[in-house]
Structures are given as structure tokens and as C-alpha cells.
Amino acid sequence: MGDLSDGELARQVRARPGLDVRIGPFLVNLRLGLCEPLPLLQRMWHDYPLEPSAGIRDFHVSLDHNGWLRRWWRPQARFTVDGRSPFQPLAAAHHFPMLEWGLNWCVARRGHHLLMLHAAVLERGGRALILPGAPGAGKSTLCTALAHRGWRLLSDEFALVCPQYGRLLPLPRPIPLKNGSIGVIRDFAPEAEIGPAFTGTRKGTVAHVRPPSAAVARMDEPATPGWLVFPRWQAGADTQLEPLSRSDAFLLVASNAFNYELLGETGFITAARLVERCGCHTLSYSNLDEAIVRLGALAEAAA
């Protein structure tokens, strides 16, 4: 996408049939009626390949004004997928977060050929570190830090497990940092390319980290499961990486899956095999450097 001029990008996303963009295992057809997201879109999606002669798209998504009046009076943006709006419009000023949240919704609703966990995934030495976490656990902050300390980013939001082979498929996307974690990463990794902060969203203040170019270039390379680590950030806590029984890890995996129940027996078998193949741990931390050292020790021991 970064090879397109500003004018050519604007022309393609506004005209039919839109722009076909490959993001991990998904082909996204994108159309924009709003001009505001274009500079940030080109910056954050810079390395994604375009497929001008694409066949079947996974999602047809668009971001547009919510009616003629809402262009001028309290402007709103409306996200649609395949011509339907799955959720209420948001303030037009929150255009890029809305697009990213909308794509998350598409993957969670349409990716049922895979077991999908709400987890960050990174790879080192061919093995994947899976970090399932509820909101507030520090998953995105830790993921961003690891991605700028020698780990390959597969995804911040989805662990996509292939039931047939048990491997994890990459889905490198901009990483959304929220509230205080934005400043933490600015100090920890000054080289990270962080977009503008969107204030007053439903998740507070949000800023996105551009996925490393190397991660996007290798998004066709799956990774073998290596470790399941359930992180929890606690202010002032000592860094503790502790073993977790596989039975407890299985329950946590199932509870962090988007579609475990929907997949039935396939979901059970895929989750069980994932837990069997991984070293299982919990991680409590408040210091990013110490957490990264502990997780790096896991990779070094495996090597």
C-alpha cells in the first residue's frame, strides 16, 4: 500500500470495487467515504500487499459518513461489512479505531475455520509465545515491548490456531495502546512508530503502533506453539513466572476463545492439543524489562 501516491490511494478506496488488501490469511476489500483516515491508514498499513486481481474476498468493509446531515452536524462515521452495519456509528473523529475494531469483529465472526483465542502471539526461534489476556492484563503493552525486543509479531488480538496442523497463523495488525500504556511504550521503545492519540473513545485514549515491517513481510509463515503464558500486570508487583498445570491452562484457553463452543469437538481437540504442546505459565509483572528477560529465558532454554 505504501507504494501508492496519496492521490492514487484516495482514488482506489473511493471508487468501486475498492482496494483489495492482504492481511495475514484474510483478503479485505476496503472502501472509504471519509478522507480523514487516509494519511494514517497509509502509514499504519504501509507494508500490506495489494492484490489487484483478487478473487474471493473474506470481507467487504467500508467506512463512511452516517448520512448526509452527519457530514456537517456532529459528524459520525459508520462501519459496514458486506453492506450491513453491525454496530452503532461513532464520532467521525474516531475513524481509525472504528475501522480496526470493525475488522476485529469481522475476524471474530467469520474465522470459524480456525480456533480463535483472544491473545497476543509472538515468535522466536520458530516457536510461538501465546499471551491470552483479558482487558487490563497488560497484554498489548507486553506484546508491543516484545515486538521491539527481538520477537516476531504474529498478532496482538488473535491467536489463530489451525485445527488440521495445530500451527498459529500470523495476523500482524496495528497494536492499540490504551491510556497510560501509550506513554509507557513511548519511553520503553522510542523507535516504535506510534500514531496519533484518539481521546474520548469507548476505551478511553487509544493510539496505534505500526506493526514492524519484518512481521508483515513474514505474515505467510506460521509458527509452532511453544508457550502459553497468562500475563497480569500489577503496579509494584515483583516479576514472577510460575508453572501452570495443563488442566488449568486448558480451562483458561477455552474461556479466552471466541469460538470454542461453536467448534464443538474440533474446538476441544484443538485446544487440548495446543495445551499439550506448550509449556504453561502465569506471569505477574510490573517491570517490562524484567518480564522480557524471563520470557526470553524460556526461548533460550528451548533452543
User: How confident is the model over 243-291, as pLDDT tens digits?
Assistant: 999 999 999 999 999 999 999 999 999 999 999 999 999 999 999 999 9
Residue 210 neighbours by CB distance under 10 Å: 20
Q: What's residue 135's pLDDT?
A: 78
Task: Give the list of residues 6+ apart from residue 125 with CB closer than 8 angstroms, or none.
Answer: 299, 302, 303
Residue 83 neighbours by CB distance under 10 Å: 7
In tens, the pLDDT along 51-80 reads 877 678 999 999 998 766 666 668 888 999
Q: What's residue 290's pLDDT?
A: 96
Q: What's residue 71's pLDDT?
A: 65
Task: Give the list of residues 6+ apart from residue 101 with CB closer than 8 angstroms, or none.
Answer: 79
CA distances (Å), 244 to each of 76, 197, 275, in order?
Answer: 46, 37, 11
In the chain, pLDDT over 90 holds for what percent of residues?
80
Q: What's residue 55's pLDDT?
A: 77
d(CA 132, CA 118): 6
55, 43 contact by CB (below 8 A): no
Q: Cα dihedral sign for 43, 44, 48, 53? A: negative
* Reduced DSSP (H G I as helix, E B as strand, rest coil) percent helix, strand, coil of the chain, to 5: 35, 30, 35
d(CA 239, CA 35): 45
Q: What's residue 115's pLDDT?
A: 98
pTM, 2 dp? 0.94
d(CA 196, CA 210): 11
Q: Order of strands, edge to edge, in the sheet holding 198-201?
A: 175-178, 204-209, 198-201
Taking only the tens of pLDDT, the chain with its 303 residues reads 989 998 999 999 988 888 999 999 999 999 998 888 999 999 999 999 998 776 789 999 999 987 666 666 688 889 999 989 998 998 999 999 999 999 999 999 999 999 999 999 999 999 999 999 887 788 999 999 999 999 999 999 999 999 999 999 999 999 999 999 999 999 999 999 999 999 999 999 999 999 999 999 999 999 999 999 999 999 889 999 999 999 999 999 999 999 999 999 999 999 999 999 999 999 999 999 999 999 999 999 877
d(CA 23, CA 151): 19
The per-residue b/e assignment along 238-253, b for 16 or more CB within 10 angstroms, e otherwise, is ebebeebebeebbebb
- Cell triple for residue 252? 483458561
CA distances (Å), 152 to each of 46, 82, 121, 180, in order?
Answer: 18, 32, 9, 24
Q: What's residue 127's pLDDT?
A: 96
